[in-house]
C-alpha cells in the first residue's frame, strides 16, 4: 500500500525514535509521513487530498461509512496520526517538543504500521 | 434556526478574534515600551556625554533593567494569549474537518491568564529570543564603556 522506502524510513524511526526528533532525520520523517498518508488515501479512496487538513476531512467522512474491520482500523489509525501530527511532528513554536514527537512516533505512527497490510 | 455546529463555530471565531485583539494590544504595548526605552536611554547617554560626570551614564543600566522587566512582563502576557489563540485555532480546524469530538481548550474560552512566573521570565533570555534582550544589553554595555573610559564632550 505504501512505497518500500517510506515504510523503511518510518520503521527506522520507530526503532530509534529519539534519533528522529531533531534535524535532518526529523525532516526525512516528515517527508515520509506526508508520503505515507497520501499513498494510503490514494489506495483506500482513489483520491489524493492536497493537504493534511483535507485528508482529515476525507477520513472523517469515510469513518461514517461501512468498511471491513482492517480498513476501519487503518482509517482510524491514520486519522489519529494526522490529527496529532499538527501538534507534534509539524509543530512550529519555539519550545523543545522532542518528547511529544517521540510519543507520536511510538504511538500513532507505530499503530499505522501495525494496521498496514 | 442555526445548527449547533454553526453556533459553535460562531462562538469559537468570536473567542479567536478576542484573543487576537488581546495579542495585538499586547504587541502594541511592547513596542511602545521599547520606543520609550530607546528615547530615554538616548537622552541619558547624550546628557552623560554633555556633562562632565559619569553619574548619568550609571543611570542607563538602571533604566534598562526597569524597561526590560516591564517589556518582559508584557511579553509573557502576550505569550499566554498567543497560546490561547493557538488552542482555539486547533478547535476551529477540528470543526472544519468535521471531527466528532473537536478539541476543547483546557480552560475553555477565557481571557483570564495565570500569574507570570520567574521561570517564564528567565525563558525570555534564551539565545533564540536575542531580539528581546540584545538591544538592552548593547545599550547597557555602551553606557558602561562610556563611563569606564570617561568619554565626555570637551569642556568649553
Q: Residues A99-103: contacts with CB within 8 Å, 24+ apart? A: A99/A21, A101/A17, A101/A20, A101/A21, A101/A26, A102/A17, A102/A18, A102/A21
Residue pLDDT tens, chain A, 117 long: 889 999 999 999 999 999 999 889 999 999 999 999 999 999 999 988 999 999 999 999 999 899 999 999 999 999 999 999 998 999 877 666 789 999 999 999 999 999 998
* ipTM of the complex as predicted: 0.81
Give per-residue pLDDT as tens, A82-101: 999 998 999 877 666 789 99
Mean pLDDT of B3-15: 84
pTM: 0.79
Mutation target to probe the A interface, by most A beta carbons within 10 A, among B97, B103, B129 is B97
On chain A, the residues whose CB falls within 8 A of the CB of B90 are: 86-87
Q: What distance in Å separates the CA atoms of residue B28 and residue B125, rounded to the nearest whole number?
A: 21
Question: Quick one: cell of B50?
Answer: 554633555
Residue B54 C-alpha cell reads as 559619569
What's the pLDDT score for residue B9? 86
- Around Cβ A1, how many Cβ atoms within 10 Å? 12
Mean pLDDT of B66-79: 92
Contacts of B97 in chain A (CB under 8 A): 53, 56-57, 60
Q: Which residues of B touch A (CB under 8 A)?
A: 86, 90, 93-94, 96-100, 126, 128-129
CA distance B99 to chain A (A): 7
Instruction: Give how many domains chain A has, as a whole number.
Output: 1
Burial A36-66 (b: 16+ CB within 10 A, else e): bbbbbbeebeeeebeebeebbbbbbebeeee
CA dist., res. B127 & res. A7, Å (int):
37
d(CA B32, CA A46): 55
User: In the predicted model, what is the mean pLDDT of residues B68-73?
Assistant: 94
Give yes or no for residue B2 having a pLDDT over 80: no
Domain of residue A9: give its range: 4-115
What is the model's pLDDT at position A95? 65
Q: Do A61 and B98 touch (CB under 8 A)?
A: yes
Amino acid at each position: 500500500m505504501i512505497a518500500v522506502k517510506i515504510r523503511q524510513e518510518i520503521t527506522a524511526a520507530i526503532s530509534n525514535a529519539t534519533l528522529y526528533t531533531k534535524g535532518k532525520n526529523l525532516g526525512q520523517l516528515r517527508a515520509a509521513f506526508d508520503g505515507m498518508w497520501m499513498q494510503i488515501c490514494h489506495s483506500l479512496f482513489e483520491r489524493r487530498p492536497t493537504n493534511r487538513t483535507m485528508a482529515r476531512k476525507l477520513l472523517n467522512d469515510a469513518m461514517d461509512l461501512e468498511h471491513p474491520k482492517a480498513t476501519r482500523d487503518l482509517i482510524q489509525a491514520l486519522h489519529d496520526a494526522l490529527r496529532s501530527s499538527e501538534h507534534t511532528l509539524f509543530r512550529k513554536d519555539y519550545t523543545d517538543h522532542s518528547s511529544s514527537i517521540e510519543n507520536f512516533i511510538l504511538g500513532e505512527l507505530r499503530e499505522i504500521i501495525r494496521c498496514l497490510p | 434556526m442555526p445548527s449547533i455546529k454553526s453556533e459553535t463555530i460562531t462562538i469559537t471565531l468570536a473567542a479567536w478574534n478576542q484573543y487576537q485583539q488581546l495579542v495585538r494590544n499586547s504587541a502594541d504595548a511592547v513596542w511602545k515600551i521599547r520606543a520609550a526605552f530607546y528615547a530615554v536611554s538616548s537622552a541619558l547617554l547624550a546628557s552623560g556625554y554633555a556633562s562632565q560626570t559619569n553619574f548619568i551614564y550609571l543611570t542607563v543600566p538602571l533604566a534598562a533593567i526597569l524597561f526590560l522587566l516591564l517589556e518582559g512582563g508584557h511579553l509573557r502576557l502576550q505569550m499566554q494569549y498567543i497560546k490561547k489563540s493557538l488552542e482555539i485555532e486547533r478547535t476551529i480546524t477540528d470543526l472544519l474537518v468535521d471531527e466528532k469530538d473537536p478539541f476543547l481548550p483546557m480552560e475553555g474560552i477565557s481571557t483570564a491568564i495565570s500569574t507570570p512566573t520567574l521561570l517564564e521570565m528567565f525563558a525570555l533570555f534564551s539565545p533564540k529570543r536575542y531580539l528581546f534582550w540584545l538591544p538592552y544589553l548593547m545599550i547597557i554595555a555602551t553606557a558602561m564603556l562610556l563611563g569606564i573610559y570617561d568619554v565626555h564632550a570637551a569642556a568649553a
